[in-house]
Structure 1
Amino acid sequence: MEFLKRGLDKVLGIFCIILFAFLVLLVTWQVITRFVFNEPSVFSEELAKYCFVWLVLFGSAYVFGENGHMSIEFIREKFPDKLKMAVEVFIELVIIAFAALILIKGGYAVTELAWTQLSASLQIPVGYLYAAMPTSGVCIIFYCIYNISLIFQKKKPLEEIQL
């Protein structure tokens, strides 16, 4: 499982770096065409929107893999150690439920609906934009399962485990 996590971390990290670099280039091109040439590029605005949505969704999955998401630690600190583990597992299960219901199930439904709709300037299916939702949901669920397995293997809350 550790091998899969490292591989997924590497793939998501590289993908997010590429998306971010491409987004910077697109927005720079958009600014140049708008203010220097007085003819805004239509395709770059829409493509930048797609890149941004994908970057947010895959970047959030990457952050879950690094256990770098926000958490309210002062509540968790009030519990004894054995209960901290239960709270950690409960939190991971809630995240799994959210990812399964909203990102995967809802994302799949909206992707299916949008697949026949074409974007205005790029003329590609809008479903490509929404396809990032179920994909990132699967990554988040994998990371949650990995975190739960770490909790049970080490018999410690995640905050005490070096990821």
Structure 2
Amino acid sequence: MERLGKLALTVLRVFMVAALTAMIVLVFLNVVLRYGFNSGISMSEELSRTLFVWLIFMGAVLAMYDHGHLGVDSLVRRLPRASQIGCAILCDALMLFCSGLLMVGSWKQVLINWGNAAPVTGLPIGLTHLAAFVCSIGLVIVIGAHLWRVLTGRAGSRDLVQVVESEDLAPEIRPEAAR
């Protein structure tokens, strides 16, 4: 099961690199064609926007997995371990609830907008909303796995504090990770 999770994360990272590369190429070519040759790629803007939305939502899943979201952890760090566990369970439950709301709402938007086509590319508008739905599934899996680790007692001290207080303290170089 862990192998499947690592494979999914690798696929997600490769997708994000491919989407970012495609966005850069599309926008660069469009700028060169517009200013150099007075022409352009008509679908560049729509396709780049859709890829950007997918990139952001998939990045949210990876950030959740890597504990890379910013937050205030000064209170939780000062609590005893039992209270940290309680906070982690409460936070996970609230995040699962919010992810469920995102899942239901985005799926409704996918169904509503799947029949509507984008003006230039002709792609379904629901494809953009599908990014939020896929993100919510990823979030539920990541948060659910974290909650399972906490409930079964396999969560370490880094797992109980799920945020980074400062952008300067990346998860790989936090003082706890160095020990």
Q: Give the alignment's TM-score, normalised by structure 2.
A: 0.82
Counterpart residue type for residue 122 of structure 1: T
State the shift of 1:149 in Å.
2.0
5 Å matches for 1:29-108?
A: 29-102=29-102, 104-108=103-107
State the shift of 1:146 in Å.
1.1
Give the Cα separation in 2 of the matches to 1:138 and 1:122: 27
Can you list the C-alpha shifts for 1:38-76, whole angstroms capped at 9, x where unaligned?
Answer: 234220111000000000001111111222222211121
Give the Cα separation in 1 of the matches to 2:155 and 2:61: 25
SS class of match (1:26): helix
Q: Give the alignment's TM-score, normalised by structure 1.
A: 0.90
Gaps of 5+ in 1: none
Give the Cα separation in 1 of the matches to 2:141 and 2:69: 15
**Which residue of 1 is the match for residue 28 of structure 2?**
28
Counterpart residue type for residue 11 of structure 1: V
Task: Between 73-82 and 116-125, report the one with greater CA deviation.
Answer: 73-82
Counterpart residue type for residue 131 of structure 2: A
SS class of match (1:76): helix
Q: Does 1:116 align with 2:133?
A: no
The percentage of counterpart residues that share the same residue type is 19
State the shift of 1:21 in Å.
1.0
Task: Between 22-31 and 106-115, report the one with greater CA deviation.
Answer: 22-31
Alignment check: 8 A CA contact 1:5 1:143 kept: no
Alignment check: 8 A CA contact 1:26 1:44 kept: yes
